[in-house]
Amino acid sequence: VSLYVSMSMAKNFQSIFVEWDLGMYHEESDTPAKVKTMALNEELGQISHVFSDKTGTLTCNVMDFRKCSIAGVSYGKGITAIGAAALQRRGEPVPVEALEANHKAREHAVPHVTFYDP
């Protein structure tokens, strides 16, 4: 019983910290984070795919977040270096919009996140 009570208290404190987190405040709509379930922190950041290779210990596996799809809607603009090279190999031009999105994403980038979606 004490473990259950301890876990419930920990989840409660975590929900309070989420609501206090200024980084989760949306200025445009004047909306703070609102926790409506005690299991929210368990649901955040769940991993559904892990990309790896067999030589992960010998190589530098760095992934950049560029695009995502939520409920079938694609978010994120831009193109990767591999995508641009593939277009050039086929003789197709790299879209100017994609290059501009890459530039805008780099302006506001945090490490390993080059995401831009106007």
Known catalytic residues? Answer: 53
**Which residue from 112, 88, 110, 111 is spatially nearest to 99, judged by alpha carbons?**
88
Nearest 5°: CA angle at 12, between 18 and 34? 40
Both tokens of 105, joined, read 């994403």
Retrieve residue 72's tokens: 């079938």
Q: What is residue 50's three-state secondary structure?
A: coil
Q: Please report, for residues 25, 38, 55, 62, the alpha-carbon distance to residue 59 in angstroms, rounded to integers and kept in the order given.
A: 38, 39, 6, 9
